[in-house]
Structure 1
Amino acid sequence: MNIFYRILLYFQKHGYYVCQRIADRLGIRAKIVRTSFIYLTFVTVGFGFALYVFIAFWMGIKDLLYTKRSSVFDL
């Protein structure tokens, strides 16, 4: 197994599922979104990574704010 494949598996296993959630929302495969982030990072010298971290932070905050409660007494 080469080093690139190991790195890819690590980030897929321990990532924030940002690419998966974007792909589900757009109705495309997550591999296409991941590849786009990788190319964006190389082309813009780090902007893609910064965008990824920003989206991961934003989705985490959104999940904390919009949790669905089953009843009024779960406050």
Structure 2
Amino acid sequence: MLQKILTFFERYSFGVCTYLGEKFNVSIGKIRLFFIYSSFLAVGFPLIFYIFAGIVLDIRKFVKRVHTRVTDL
């Protein structure tokens, strides 16, 4: 049951923790724990940052995809 929940969130998450982990060469698990613990301490502000960063990353992926399609022509 727990594995199904973890798989669901890993599949449908924005990829913010993965992006930050690769960018700063830090363990993804540590970044996830940071977001969880800081959300409890800061009353949800890191969750707002996480959602905003996820939207920005999705827009960047979309722009890169459209740009490569245009240049392939």
Q: Structure 1 length normalisation: TM-score?
A: 0.76
What is the distance in 2 between the residues matched to 1:72 and 1:14?
A: 29
- Matched with 1:47 is 45
Judging changes above 3 Å, is the alpha-carbon distance between structure 1 residues 11 and 72 closer, same or farther for their aligned structure 2 residues? closer
Moved over 3 A (4+): none
Deviation at 1:66, TM superposition (A): 2.5
- Asked which structure has the greater RCO (Cα within 8 Å, sep 6+), the reply is 2
Deviation at 1:13, TM superposition (A): 2.8
What is the distance in 2 between the residues matched to 1:64 and 1:14?
A: 16
What is the distance in 2 between the residues matched to 1:33 and 1:54?
A: 16
- Matched with 1:69 is 68
Q: Write 1 or 2 for the structure with the bigger share of helix.
A: 2
Q: Structure 2 length normalisation: TM-score?
A: 0.78
What is the distance in 1 between the residues matched to 2:17 and 2:32?
A: 6
Q: Which sections of structure 1, spanning at least 5 residues, go unmatched?
A: none
Identity %: 24
Deviation at 1:63, TM superposition (A): 1.3
Could you say what secondary structure the match of 1:45 adopts?
A: coil
Aligned amino acid, residue 34 of structure 2: S
- Matched with 1:60 is 58
CA RMSD of aligned residues (A): 2.1
Number of aligned residue pairs: give it.
70
